[in-house]
Amino acid sequence: MTKQEEYVENAVESLELAERLASSSDRRRMLKLAEAWVELANGTHDHRPPHMHDHALGESRAGGYHLGR
């Protein structure tokens, strides 16, 4: 398994866990973690605040991954 595949798997696991959390603040933290894994998978990780639009993880046409609608 490549590092990118590992990061994507971690993002998916973070999203699945977020869906099961009762606390909205815990869900937000888990979604931010998922976003960070996606950024790492794409090689674009930086220290900007993450932005969340939806909870779906998808592969973009350009070959990277994203959390989006």
- Is the pLDDT confidence value at 52 over 50? no
d(CA 60, CA 50): 18
Q: At what angle do helices 24-42 and 3-20 cross, to 10 degrees?
A: 170
What does pTM read for this prediction? Answer: 0.67
Tokens 């350009």 found at: 62
Of the pLDDT bands very low, low, confident and very high (cuts 50, 70, 90), residue 44 is confident
Q: What's the rounded mean pLDDT across residues 44-51? A: 54
- State residue 53's pLDDT score: 44
Q: Do the beta carbons of residue 14 and residue 34 sit within 8 Å?
A: yes
Count of the separate structural domains present in the chain:
1
Range of the domain at 50: 3-68
